[in-house]
């Protein structure tokens, strides 16, 4: 758990929304999966889902490769590395991965989001993620994206997660969590998984701090006194 007065002070409020419950459920947001790109004469890369210039070319996502879900040791390595790099609670990063892909590195959503942290093609390009199906690249980009959203919304976890799902524009338009059914369900699931992973982490810490002799059956002491007749 984060210490509000310590090194992770800017993340102290990430624990506050864990009791949040959605109050409004309306229709889902529209979404599109096709992204187009071109590079102008100045070397600037332009991205759009509406190709208004003939220079735009459709960005094709890399082909999926068949792969099993990641081994727990690999998940732990990626979570630990990028949670530390971007000053995120490991339980939060793990919760987003669990909610988005259930630890499946080749998962693809109906909207075209890809990989462990379900990066959209445009987001992946912006984050310099060349292959969203590569676990290392995906978690590197997704964790950086989540950190940027938390900074943008001043540590408000609910809004940051809403923007992760629905986009920054939608959150800023409503100045609150957007009333999209998909987004509200996503935030609720992430917070639930976050609570569970925090509890698992706390239990593991307690076990690690328990002295070994408290869990070892004790033999009765051998008395030096002679038995009475």
Residue 42: CA count within 13 A, CB half-sphere: 3
Sheet architecture: strand order including 36-39: 45-48, 36-39, 57-58
> Active-site residue numbers?
100
Residue 88, Cβ density class (10 Å: 0-12 exposed, 13-18 middle, ≥19 buried) = buried
**Which letter does DSSP use for residue 11 in this model?**
G
**Which letter does DSSP use for residue 155 in this model?**
T
Q: How many CB atoms lie within 10 A of CB 170?
A: 17
- Distances, alpha carbon 54 to alpha carbons 34, 51, 104, 120, in Å: 16, 7, 36, 23
């Amino acid at each position: 758990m984060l210490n509000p007065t310590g090194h992770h002070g800017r993340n102290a409020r990430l624990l506050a929304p864990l009791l949040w419950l959605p109050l409004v459920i309306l229709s889902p947001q529209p979404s599109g999966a096709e992204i187009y790109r071109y590079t102008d004469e100045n070397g600037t890369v332009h991205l759009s889902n509406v190709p208004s210039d003939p220079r735009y070319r459709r960005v094709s996502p890399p082909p999926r490769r068949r792969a099993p879900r990641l081994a727990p040791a690999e998940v732990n390595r990626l979570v630990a590395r990028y949670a530390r790099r971007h000053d995120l609670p490991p339980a939060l990063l793990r919760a987003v991965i669990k909610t988005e892909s259930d630890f499946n590195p080749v998962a693809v959503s109906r909207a075209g989001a890809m990989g462990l942290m379900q990066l959209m093609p445009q987001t992946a390009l912006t984050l310099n993620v060349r292959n969203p199906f590569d676990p290392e690249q995906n978690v590197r980009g997704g964790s950086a994206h989540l950190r940027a959203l938390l900074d943008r919304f001043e540590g408000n976890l609910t809004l940051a997660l809403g923007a992760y799902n629905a986009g920054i524009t939608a959150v800023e338009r409503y100045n609150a969590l957007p009333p999209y059914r998909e987004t509200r369900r996503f935030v609720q699931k992430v917070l639930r998984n976050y609570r569970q992973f925090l509890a698992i982490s706390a239990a593991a810490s307690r076990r690690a701090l328990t002295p070994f002799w408290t869990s070892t059956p004790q033999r009765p002491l051998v008395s030096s006194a002679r038995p009475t007749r």
